[in-house]
Structure 1
Amino acid sequence: MKLRSWHLTPLICLFFSCEDAKPKMTDEEYQQLTDEQKRSAEHAVDGIVVADDRLELTLFASEPMMSNPTNMDIDDRGRVWIAEAYNYRTALNPRNPTRGEGDRILIMEDTDGDGVADESKVFYQGNDINAALGIAVFGDKVYVSVSPYVYVFTDADGDDVPEKKEILFEGVGGVQHDHGMHSFTFGPDGKLYFNYGNEGKGIHYADGSPILDPLGRPVNSQTQPYREGMVFRMDPDGSDVEVLAWNFRNNFEVATDSYGRMWQSDNDDDGNRSTRINYVMDYGNYGFKDEMTGQDWRARRINMEDSVFKQHWHLNDPGVVPNLLQTYAGSPTGILIYEGKLLPEEYQNQMIHSDAGPNIVRSYPISPNGAGFDAKIINILDGNPRDNWFRPSDVTVAPDGSLFVSDWYDPGVGGHAMGDLDKGRIYRVAPKGVDYKVEKPDYSSIPSLIKLLQNPNRATHFKAFMALQEKGAEAKDALEKLFTEGESRMRARAFWVLTKLPNGNDYIKTASTDADENIRVAAVRAYRNNKMDETDFLLKMAGDESSAVRREVALAIRYKDNSEVWQKLAANYEPGDRWYLEALGIAAEGFWDEYLPVYLENAGSGWMESQAAKDIVWRSRAKNTSDLLGKIILTQPGRNNQAFYRALDFQNPAEKNGTLKALLANAPEEDQIIILRQINFDRNNPDTQVLSLAKKTANEITDDRDFLDIVSKYQLKEDKDRLEALVYQSENNQHSQMAANIYASLYGMNDIEKSFENPDQEKAIQSITKFGTIDNESMAKLLADIYTDESKSLEIRTAAAEAAKGYNSEPYLWQLAKSNEIPADVLPIAQKILLSSWNGNIRKEANEFFGDATKNEYDVAKMVAASGSVEKGKTIASTYCLACHKIGNEGIDFGPGLTEIGDKLSKEAMINAIINPSEGMGFGYETQLVKMKDGTEFTCIVNSKTENDLVVKLVGSGEQKVYKLVDVESVTQQDESLMPKFPLSQTEIVDLVSYLETLRK
């Protein structure tokens, strides 16, 4: 269908470029615009800062032609395809209107050559593709990713109307889930690459049968080693599906370069400043969850890193591939490797990435570092200084080499909410004065195909690759010429096609001797793709001078018993090259018992003096690794051993325990504490030696958290005074709460009750405040005895009423309120607690009982326009937000972190999150109702579910609690957020948001 252009082009643009006709606004001019003008398509470009003054940004398409683009592709004719998401998460956000006909796949084209789309076609529309997260165009096939399905549409006659829709994969995550299946991309090896986030759970063929790995194991989150988000590849016909890497959180897209290497971004648990960029090493574990237990990254462990991002990705654990780069706060989306020539040189052959959270598009130039890489950041587009509704959802390269950016355009990003239904933009980035022109591709002649093979647009590359492969020997000479004379990456592209010819293995052997190490990297990767099996080839390559090439050799012997090659690779390991060490570990998986003894024999009796040997033992998983780690620890006692103690957690539990117990005899006090924390202890069948040591050393432990862990683990009653002192300390509220709960579990409530009756009112109030954090019915009743006793002072009763909150305490408070048993002078406190209860049922009933006291008719537009008091907002945040969120070092790590929330959400989005908290629940923070087999139930956030345990965070606490799965009846996700609708006035919300807006980098 033909649509009118989205704007009226001024006449002057016929003679001069639009950039000349409409100079970029100054900051002062932009700020003088009204909010309505700022949000309009007319000023879309004005709201985005172009960091490189050699580049210009133009608007290719916008509303009403399209809206809400989640993903984008560009075909070989230069037409832009987008997946729209007007019906985004409608099941979870019923306030959003829906398009009854379903969401659309659109094709937008500039037919008159003015650089602006003037025609839009609906390729497909239906409720089966609502909120699709991936669109990829390869020849006459269009891949659409919309969890739990991947659909393949076929348009064989090229009329932009699909004749066929087929299911390629099914059973990938929940319906319409942001952390499910993402987009497909074309690799230089002729394969398609794709990924899913940590809601993917597993992947199945259309008939429901699971994808299997080379050992016959189903690829899903219940099968070790597979966890969380994963990366895959397959042949274009859907066959030969391989799982390539795992344990990401929400790896939105995967990108490949011409050498066959893979790159990704990955989102952190919201608000934890740990968003990352990864070089994806085949078969790598990327550390989001604990490899062995599946526990959440917050679980306290030996050798736990100081920085949050290292904790977040388990970067100190053996078996975790390093991160390439930290980008901290963000909501990363599309990524590509730019292998064009149009953009300036610093962007060529580099990653370009869109991050919707901080409203930015960046490049990440890399440089080799051992078997891995280093990277830096170069900004390209930045909306945050002006328009923080700019939400770049994808980046794609057009056939002319220009960069296209799709913009979801919304006040918020992620979760289950969106604030704007109708807007969406597509931008083009190119050097100034370079118009958008795409020549019609010619796939008939070999010279043209050789040229098209080098095109930076993946749809063009795909069609040229397939056409050259089909021509076979006819194209050999031209491909050989490009392989011999071309630029490195284009040589690699020619090489990959040559490997598909009948004598393709000969080209692999030729490439293995190339002077360019990246071509040799491609050679080893092609060896795997062609399923070659020549030990002599691998032995030769294992001696390559390049650690990157040797890394690939290690990956090539995964699943194969090839000790000779592995020993040669291990002999070349240089301490400190973690990428190489992890490649050795990947290669040795399943063969450690054969490989490690030979390696140590070759290293000689003095192997413990070699850092390289100690590193390899640290990474190893052989049966005798626990014993070897113990020997290393004995030679170097002290804090330097924490890494080796942590490595014991990745060994057989019985062997680990045996080593730890043997170490007790000679361990210094510092190590004894580590051993007590780490050793497995059965309270029903206690090891008397270990228990005796715990009792002896507990009160000598200087670290408060270590002390609390030991006292709780071993149920020690000997250190009552110190435990009580920790309850009353004010430096760390979480430690105070932990101590109070441990105290009650060890000594009961009698002493606590006596402390509440202290004749010194100040001390009594302090005790009520500290021990009142215990959230159970016993404490609720104890507090009620105080605040309902009108013979006591108002100060004492007020303290007791204010402490009477908590998920397990509030039902008792509610019963008293309904029975009118709460005295009038403390009733307002009870009302405030109940009206903002974490229990949705109580909150609803309290609203009705108290006359819907929290109902406010908010004027959102007025609040957005208003300015508030930052200081007052900080006080409000302290009262409400810090109970469940971290702001800097303050608060509780329960909900998403707010430390840099001002960089992620606009003012509108923050207001909506406060007044409608259930609309924007972040993934991993959804309310879960847990029912136990004993009949009890509670709501919580589930951090992780391991083979034996359910690990949760309970309301009002950042501490994790572990329940045995055998005791759990069911876990059900709820639609309502645990964050209550706080009874805040319009002015208070404006103040609060004014403060939150200041929380930036």
Structure 2
Amino acid sequence: MKYRWLAIIPALLLTTSAATSFVSAQTEHDSKQAVPNLTVAPGLKATLFSSEPQISSPSSMDVDSEGRVWICEVVNYRANLRDIPTRKEGDRILILEDTNGDGKADKTTVFYQGNDVNGSQGICVLGNKVIVAASPNVFLFTDENNDGKADKKELLFKIAGGEHDHSAHTSIFGPDGKLYWNFGNSGKQVFDAAGKPILESNGKPVLDNGKPYWGGMVFRCNLDGSDFEVLGHNFRNNYEITVDSFGTLWQSDNDDDGNRGVRINYVMEYGNYGYLDQLTGARWKTPRTGMHEEIPLRHWHLRDPGVIPNLLQTGAGSPTGICVYEGSLLPKKYQGEVIHSDAGPNVVRAYPVKKDGAGYEAEIANIITSEQDKWFRPSDVCIAPDGSLFVADWYDPGVGGHRIGDQERGRIFRIAPADAKYVFDKLDLSTTEGAIAGIKNPNLARRYLAWNKLHALQEQALPQLEELYQSDNQRNRARALWLLAGIKGKTGAYVSRAIQDK
């Protein structure tokens, strides 16, 4: 009889080991471990604003003027390519709100849900209007009664390339009152809501055919889609564009997977960024005169005439959200700098820049990494009204290849100094002084509302804007200048003053 027990012991040990591994895996990916698994830069602390089961798989994010966090969930990401469970009602756009000031979201509102926003890759909140990139469509939603629900859905643009990661990405409001956005190299062409090709001022269509544009592009237009311009081209998968208060554009771009060539770009207006040979459309493997020996450099045709140099190359990765930090809450080394999330190497970084000739050079400064939990997949970064940094975490075992490995988890983190609570004054647009306070805020959604108020006031706001233009804060001065130059009859005078400014 005792020999039978000896035979059973290995089986019991195996069962116990498997059970222990399962419990360990469950504990490792529990949201309670989300913050302990992060390594955060000195002077900063990460707190968990939201997680499963409240949210799952956030691909993109924005923070509105009230400090509410908006996300696009992508549970149905590329479901047409994979045999995966789907949410039959479609993906959701959620509003997450902290109503009691404890720094955690305790209220969730479904702004919109539908299969027409499956796999969304960008969200931009502008007052009661919300722009969502859900390729092949770029939608404009309107909340007409401010109840947190979409009352109206319009088509702003249509993209030729269909649903794809390399298509339309998020929009951003610029300091000039324009809309900036982009698409990657599967976008191909832009159409208006009626299905007519978008034309630039020269009458040529916005089209990826080498005449003159190739691949991914960066766009600028009015908020109604008029006055459309291509600001840069020949990218591969330029995921998001961001613009600072001076009007300078920054962007990341992903290489052909596996070539360790992820790059960060200063987007010089109308520049060619070298993903394809400008004359032939050939990719990096085609032999050519003077090409780099190193594949990550050769990949971008950097020695071809007319190609704009990269700001920085960061190796292998899956670059995602990007913003410029123009607040004062975070340590000084991050102030005025580009902040970027890369889901591949599980990191959120800053790229402090210095002027270098006609462009810039940069270094890397990690803000958040996760050596312990490789499921940390930062998908977007945004700045809140108090100046804190919010990070969306898609949270998945893998990234790329049009796959999703976990449809149940997702996290939103707030990054700030340890003693900084999530509190801020309400935006007051009833006075010019309140609007001036809004235009000085680091949160873009607040600046959008303040910009529109001050622009509508025209000369009535001139004394306050002139005072802001004379201040010591160069970014606030730039914001004031854009508005002063937008006052009827004042454009020439303020442009001349800006040229002479030292």
TM-score (norm 1): 0.48
How far does residue 438 in structure 1 lie from its aligned partner after superposition? 3.0
2:365 is aligned to 378
How far does residue 161 in structure 1 lie from its aligned partner after superposition? 1.7
Letter in 1 for 2:462: K
Q: How does 1:877-896 map to 2 (within 5 A)?
A: none
Q: Is 1:130–2:118 an aligned residue pair?
A: yes
1:209 is aligned to 196
What SS does structure 2 have at the residue aligned with 1:456?
coil
Q: How does 1:362-511 map to 2 (within 5 A)?
A: 362-383=349-370, 385-502=371-488, 503-511=490-498
Deviations 1:847-901 (A, max 9, x none): xxxxxxxxxxxxxxxxxxxxxxxxxxxxxxxxxxxxxxxxxxxxxxxxxxxxxxx
Deviations 1:326-380 (A, max 9, x none): 1011000000110000000000000000000000000000000111111000000
1:915 is aligned to none
2:37 is aligned to 47
2:87 is aligned to 99
C-alpha distance in 2 between matches for 1:233 and 1:139: 20
1:745 is aligned to none
2:66 is aligned to 77
How far does residue 156 in structure 1 lie from its aligned partner after superposition? 2.6
Q: How does 1:559-708 map to 2 (within 5 A)?
A: none
1:173 is aligned to 161
Residue 33 to residue 349, structure 1, CA distance change in 2 (3 Å): farther
Asked if 1 retains the 8 angstrom alpha-carbon contact of 2:343 and 2:399, the reply is yes
1:327 is aligned to 314
Letter in 2 for 1:35: A
2:152 is aligned to 164
How far does residue 320 in structure 1 lie from its aligned partner after superposition? 0.5
C-alpha distance in 2 between matches for 1:458 and 1:207: 30
C-alpha distance in 1 between matches for 2:417 and 2:22: 29
C-alpha distance in 2 between matches for 1:140 and 1:160: 9
Letter in 1 for 2:201: P
C-alpha distance in 1 between matches for 2:246 and 2:225: 22
Higher helix share: 1
How far does residue 504 in structure 1 lie from its aligned partner after superposition? 2.3
C-alpha distance in 2 between matches for 1:434 and 1:215: 51
Residue 32 to residue 437, structure 1, CA distance change in 2 (3 Å): farther
How far does residue 201 in structure 1 lie from its aligned partner after superposition? 0.4
Asked if 1 retains the 8 angstrom alpha-carbon contact of 2:90 and 2:116, the reply is yes
Asked if 2 retains the 8 angstrom alpha-carbon contact of 1:83 and 1:135, the reply is yes
C-alpha distance in 1 between matches for 2:312 and 2:82: 35
Q: Is 1:90–2:79 an aligned residue pair?
A: yes
C-alpha distance in 2 between matches for 1:161 and 1:33: 40
Which of 112, 129, 132 matches 1:144? 132
C-alpha distance in 1 between matches for 2:471 and 2:42: 34
How far does residue 237 in structure 1 lie from its aligned partner after superposition? 2.2
Residue 500 to residue 156, structure 1, CA distance change in 2 (3 Å): farther
What SS does structure 2 have at the residue aligned with 1:438?
coil
1:117 is aligned to 105
Asked if 1 retains the 8 angstrom alpha-carbon contact of 2:210 and 2:281, the reply is no
Asked if 2 retains the 8 angstrom alpha-carbon contact of 1:364 and 1:376, the reply is yes
Which of 342, 348, 353 matches 1:355? 342
Q: Which has the higher contact order (CA 8 A, sep 6+)?
A: 2
1:751 is aligned to none
Q: Is 1:59–2:83 an aligned residue pair?
A: no
C-alpha distance in 2 between matches for 1:322 and 1:377: 17
Which of 289, 293, 303 matches 1:306? 293
Asked if 2 retains the 8 angstrom alpha-carbon contact of 1:173 and 1:181, the reply is no
Q: How does 1:919-998 map to 2 (within 5 A)?
A: none
Deviations 1:744-769 (A, max 9, x none): xxxxxxxxxxxxxxxxxxxxxxxxxx
How far does residue 288 in structure 1 lie from its aligned partner after superposition? 0.4
2:25 is aligned to 35
How far does residue 249 in structure 1 lie from its aligned partner after superposition? 0.5
Deviations 1:49-103 (A, max 9, x none): 11x2210000000011110000000000000000010111011002x10001000
C-alpha distance in 1 between matches for 2:472 and 2:451: 16
How far does residue 271 in structure 1 lie from its aligned partner after superposition? 0.9
How far does residue 33 in structure 1 lie from its aligned partner after superposition? 8.6
How far does residue 418 in structure 1 lie from its aligned partner after superposition? 1.0
What SS does structure 2 have at the residue aligned with 1:380?
strand
What SS does structure 2 have at the residue aligned with 1:485?
coil
Asked if 1 retains the 8 angstrom alpha-carbon contact of 2:61 and 2:122, the reply is yes
Aligned identity (percent) is 53
1:835 is aligned to none
Q: Is 1:190–2:177 an aligned residue pair?
A: yes
Asked if 1 retains the 8 angstrom alpha-carbon contact of 2:156 and 2:225, the reply is yes
Residue 32 to residue 200, structure 1, CA distance change in 2 (3 Å): closer
C-alpha distance in 1 between matches for 2:109 and 2:501: 47
Letter in 2 for 1:364: Y
Higher strand share: 2
Asked if 2 retains the 8 angstrom alpha-carbon contact of 1:77 and 1:439, the reply is no
C-alpha distance in 1 between matches for 2:288 and 2:359: 27
Q: How does 1:470-869 map to 2 (within 5 A)?
A: 470-502=456-488, 503-515=490-502
**In terms of Rg, which structure is larger?**
1
C-alpha distance in 2 between matches for 1:408 and 1:162: 24
Letter in 1 for 2:457: K
What SS does structure 2 have at the residue aligned with 1:91?
coil
How far does residue 448 in structure 1 lie from its aligned partner after superposition? 1.2
Structure 2: segments with no counterpart, 5+ residues:
1-20
What SS does structure 2 have at the residue aligned with 1:447?
helix
C-alpha distance in 2 between matches for 1:262 and 1:59: 30
Which of 259, 268, 274 matches 2:261? 274
C-alpha distance in 1 between matches for 2:128 and 2:462: 26
What SS does structure 1 have at the residue aligned with 2:263?
strand
How far does residue 484 in structure 1 lie from its aligned partner after superposition? 1.1
Deviations 1:5-44 (A, max 9, x none): xxxxxxxxxxxxxxxxxxxxxxxxxx99922111011111
1:224 is aligned to 211
How far does residue 172 in structure 1 lie from its aligned partner after superposition? 3.8
Structure 1: segments with no counterpart, 5+ residues:
1-30, 516-1001
What SS does structure 2 have at the residue aligned with 1:209?
coil
Q: CA RMSD in A?
A: 1.3
Which stretches of structure 1, 4 residues or more, deviate above 2 A after TM superposition? none
Across the two proteins, how many residue pairs are aligned to each other?
481
TM-score (norm 2): 0.94
Asked if 2 retains the 8 angstrom alpha-carbon contact of 1:184 and 1:194, the reply is yes
Deviations 1:673-715 (A, max 9, x none): xxxxxxxxxxxxxxxxxxxxxxxxxxxxxxxxxxxxxxxxxxx
1:339 is aligned to 326
C-alpha distance in 1 between matches for 2:121 and 2:259: 24
1:960 is aligned to none
Letter in 1 for 2:74: A
